[in-house]
Structure formats: C-alpha cells, structure tokens
Amino acid sequence: MLRRGKPPGATAVNDHTIKHNPGGADRPLTPALFIGVLGVVYGDIGTSPLYAMRASAQHFAEDGLERWEILGLLSLIFWSLNLVVTLKYVTFVLRADNRGEGGILSLMALAQRSVSSPRLAAAAGVIGMVGACLFFGDGVITPAISVLSAVEGLKVVHPALEGIVVPIAVAVLLALFLVQRGGTEAVGRVFGPVCLLWFLVIGLLGLLEIAQQPSVLAALSPHYAVRFFLEYGFLAFVAFGLVVLAVTGAEALYADMGHFGRKPMRAAWLFLVLPALCLNYFGQGALLLSDPETIANPFYLLAPEWFRLPLVFLATAATIIASQAMISGAFSIARQCVQLGLLPRLTVRHTSETAEGQIYLPQVNFALLVGVLVLVLSFRDSDSLAAAYGFAVTGTFICTTLLAALVYASRFRWPVALVVSVFGAFLLLDATFFAANVLKIPDGGYVPLLIGTVLFLLMSTWRTGRELLFARFRQDSLPLRSFVARLPASRTLRVPGTAVFMTSQADYVPSALLHNLKHNKVLHERVLFVTVQTEGVPQASQRAEVEELAPGIHRIALHYGFLESPNIPRDLAALADKGVALEPMQTSYFLGRETVVAGSVPKMSRWRQWLFGLMSRNAVPATEFFRIPADRVVELGARVAI
C-alpha cells in the first residue's frame, strides 16, 4: 500500500492539485522568526558551554594547565565553530534545501532526485540511512548530558547538594518526556524568549571575565591551535574528540530550515549565537588563566556567587528546550523514515490542529525515555557522558558532507574539481573529528555506535524485506489491465456499493480482490485501486492521479511528501469533481494482511526473516496509519514466501 515514486506504466490522468509553499527556505527576516530560531534551532549548540570547555581542559590538566594550552584549546574551539558551523553549514549546506526543507533524509531525497546514476542514488540512500541512525544515537545522549550538566551547577552552589543531582535530573527528564503526549505548542511560545535571555546572559558573563583578562583574545589567532598540535602530537588529535562537543547541534541548523528559512537562521547565528558562544568560551578561558582551580566547573564559576543558583534554573530551562528540540526532531525523522519505507508503520498522533509538524510518536518517545534514563543512571555525571558524545554527531557530519557534495555536483552543476576542493576539505575536517571520536568508543562511544548499528540493521532489513515482498507480489499477481479486460466475459456479479482496494503495486491485481472473488463470487459496482506513493519532497504538489480503467473501475495514486501524513478517506472524498464520488456508508475498504514465511530458497538469512516478520507483526495497522474507519474495513490474509 505504501510505495515510493511514480507507478510504472502511468497513463494520462486527471489531477487533483494541492497548494503549498515551496519557498520556505527564503522567508524574510522578522523579529518573531529571529526569536523563534533561538528556541528551536540553537538550543543544543547553545548549551554546549556547560560542558565543552571543562571536558576539553580536564583531559590535559593532570599536571596543571599552562597558558599556551588554554589558548590552544580556545583556538581549536573558535575555529571549529567557524569552519564547521559558519562556513560549512551556514554558508554551503543551507543552500541545499529540498523545496525549503532540510535534514539528513531531506538531503538524501534531494541527492537521489539530482543524480542520474542508479548506483549513486543507491549510495545516497545508504548514506542517508546511516545519517538517520546516527541522529537517533545522538538524540538519546543530548537530553542526558544537557540536563545533567545543568543540574550539576548545584554542586557549585553547595557541595552538599551533589547527592540530589541525579534524582533531580531524572525527575526533569521524566517530566519532559511525559508532557510530549499533550503537545508542546503552548510551552513552545516561551522557548524563544528564554533562549534569548540565555544567550545574552552567557555572553555577558564571558565579556565581564574577558575584561579582567583581555590577553585571552590572543587565542583568536590559529597559530595557538597549530602550536597545540605541534606540542602534543597524537594527544592533540585526542583533543579533537573533546573539542567537537562545542559544535554538537550544528546539524539542527539544516534540519530546522523548513520551519524558519535561511535568513533568520543565518542572522541569529552571526549576530547573536556565535558572538555569545565565543564570548562565553573565551570568558571561561580567561577565568582559567586567572585561576586554574576553576577547572572544576568554569561555566558556573564565571558567575558571581549570588547569581549561581538562578543560573542553574536558567541553564536547566535552556537544556530542557535543547532536549525538546531533539525529541521533536526524532519524531519528525522517525515519521520520515516510515514515509520513505525505511521503518514499519508507527503510531503518529497530531498534537496541533493547525501545525502539521506538531506530532507525537509514542513508540519513539518511550524508546528515547528508556535510553536517556539508562544513560543518566549508568554514567551519573556529564564528564563521563562526554566520552559517549560526539561519535554520532561527527558521523552525521560526514554523511551530510557527502550528500551535499552530490547535490552541488548534480543539481548546482559545480565543476568536479571545485566540489572536490570545497567538500573534500570539509570531509577531511569531519573525518578528523570522527577518527578522534573513534578513540572514545571504549569509554562510552559504544553507546551511539550500538544504537546506530541496531537501527541500521532494522532499516536495511525492513527495506530489503519489502522489496522482496513486492517482487513476490509482482511474480504471483495478474496484470491489472489484463484482468480488467477479461471482466466483461467473466460474467462476474456486480453488487451495489464502492470497494476500495489498497495496493502497493499499481499495475497488478491486489490479492485481496482475488480472495474476495474466490470466496464471495462478487465485485462491487464501483472499484477503486488505491496506491499511496511517498515522493522525495516535503509536500507533494499533486495529491491524486485518477485513471478510469473501465466503467466503474478507477486506478488512483495518492501522492504524499515525506513530511505529510496520509488520510485516505479525506483525499478520496475530494475527488468527487474528478468522477469518483464516494458515499462513506456505502464504501468498504479491502486490505491484505500478509503473513511472511520462508520460501523453499530463502532470499534472506533466517535471522533477517525472523526480524522482518517481527517488525511486520508489530507495525501499526493500516487502518490507523491511513486513518481508515475501522468499521468499514475488510481484511483478507495471505501467506507470502520470500
């Protein structure tokens, strides 16, 4: 029932067109969008000063930190922010929008549409799958490390409060995940103002400390980063795995482009977020130059004693916002995976009557909650979690760079030499970050690696199994046109009403129809063969294609973008002016329920067959996913051997 692309052999059709705004990437800059960007896009990277500088410095502080070491780390952080975020994402990647939308799967779909080689398209699909899997690995760690690092400020306020850090963090995270069920539209209105206050406060705290130690600005020169490498050699390479903590969240720049557009995102980054982050990092560096003992928590020790407790509350609010953005992103990516055929059907509940993107996926929410709580209770502090953070992020960086290079070469027609020069440099930087984080696998980096590997096995098994299933359908089914041509001679009894047969193969007779004819010996007066197709665009520009195969028999292809949720009854009802008039109480929906069994010569290994069968049995029923009234459905089962 759910398939991608245009059905083979499509002929002249009547079109039912829907309207949408494909220019979301070019929205004008307004104060509302500027503030909104802060709450949704920059929460993750905006809270990285809580732990990035501390984790980087503590790795080299066993025998005390010297001035050149502090300046070297600051220089690495400053230039990483500018090369990875400002140059790569803000300057180049934001241009590669898929009709106004961004994100790793959106970029994958754009790359597949842009290239002409089937092999390159297949490679883009695999890269997109890997990036999506790593995104979920990152999504489990982000709430855990962000909230823990914020609540750890209580230890700075008073050491006796150390024992309640983990319980409070667990309580905050539980509350965060539990409120997802009701939607976050009302709470979301305060996200932007809170983050605006956050960036102003952390920038001011850094500026005040820089004023006391202005020599720290020498770290703006890249030669301190170069010296750091020359002095430390391989250990400087290890530092790259910690410095990357400062750029985690950069992927959100691209993923949330469809909500805000390029101009507001670029303006917010260049004129507020980047300056605030740099001021705070340099302020922490200035504090370390003045008092090396502050390495215990340079972020909170930047603040005067009277302001530390309020800062804990503000930081907790900011990390909740950062975590919320990651959770919402996980919901969106999971729905895209389902729409693009990478995962079985999941429950999708809309929490807003007006915003299509406001969704809640209970299975994903529960999985994230369990993963986050396990991490918090296992690692118990942000310094330990820092070892697990970075692997998934840098892997996603590489996937984005590869896909963006394909888009620039195929869609923007850049010369190969220019693509290799620009994106080769980005790939080298990303690969360096990634290789440095590989060293952290024994200390916690195995967490996102394990999550990503499991998800990749699930996605690849589901996609392979569906392809084998479709191939078996085509092999065993009758061509639809031949069947329709023989109907007048068959003298099949036609009964009143409308039958809607959901099918994934538009050119073949659905097994549900054959079973209905075999057992009931009748065919309805009006028969609709409906295929749902997911396009590689955010919103489909054309909703329905209608073709009359014979009097009273139509073939209908319903098109959806990967950001849209199918609603079959609604969209069929809209086709009355196209010669397809439905009476809801006289319409029955016929669905096939396949039971997958091993063939005489299995096409998949036994464990993959078992896994595919498990996912098939636990997929959300088609009636719920396609919003078909349960009391109008007839399900007919069949055993399919693959």
Question: Domain count of the chain?
Answer: 2
Per the domain annotation, does 595 fall within a domain?
A: yes
SS3 content of the chain, % helix, strand, coil (to 5): 65, 10, 25
515 & 600 share domain: yes
448 & 493 share domain: no
404 & 473 share domain: no
> Which conformational region is residue 63 in: left (phi greater than 0), alpha (psi within -120 to 50 degrees), or beta?
alpha
In angstroms, the CA 80 to CA 86 distance is 9
Per the domain annotation, does 242 fall within a domain?
A: no
Per the domain annotation, does 230 fall within a domain?
A: no
Phi, psi of 30 (to 5 degrees): -130, 155
CATH of the domain at 157: 1.20.1740.10
542 & 449 share domain: no
474 & 451 share domain: no
Digit-coded pLDDT (tens) for 571-615: 998 888 887 888 888 899 988 777 777 766 677 888 888 899 889
Domain boundary (455, 481, 507) is at 455
Element holding 18 (H helix, E strand): none
pLDDT at 609: 87
Burial of 285-311, coded b for 16+ CB within 10 Å and e otherwise, reads: bbbbbeebebbebbbbbbbeeeebbeb
37 & 92 share domain: yes
Per the domain annotation, does 574 fall within a domain?
A: yes
Per the domain annotation, does 229 fall within a domain?
A: no
Tokens of 89: 């994402």
Per the domain annotation, does 423 fall within a domain?
A: no
Structural domain of residue 592, as residue ranges?
469-641
Helix/strand/coil for 212: helix
In angstroms, the CA 615 to CA 457 distance is 12
Domain boundary (455, 482, 508) is at 455
451 & 474 share domain: no
pLDDT at 12: 34
Per the domain annotation, does 124 fall within a domain?
A: yes
407 & 517 share domain: no
For CA atoms 107, 108, 109, 113, the dihedral sign is positive
Domain boundary (400, 431, 455) is at 455
Per the domain annotation, does 141 fall within a domain?
A: yes
In angstroms, the CA 110 to CA 124 distance is 9
347 & 214 share domain: yes
515 & 448 share domain: no
515 & 444 share domain: no
What does pLDDT average to in each consecutive run of 10 residues of the chain (642 residues)? 42 37 61 84 89 86 82 94 94 87 88 89 93 87 90 89 91 90 68 92 96 94 89 79 86 77 89 96 95 91 94 93 85 87 88 66 92 91 82 90 94 93 95 88 86 93 89 82 80 86 86 82 88 86 88 90 87 86 86 74 82 88 88 79 70
Angle at 355 between CA 354 and CA 361, to 5 degrees: 120
446 & 487 share domain: no
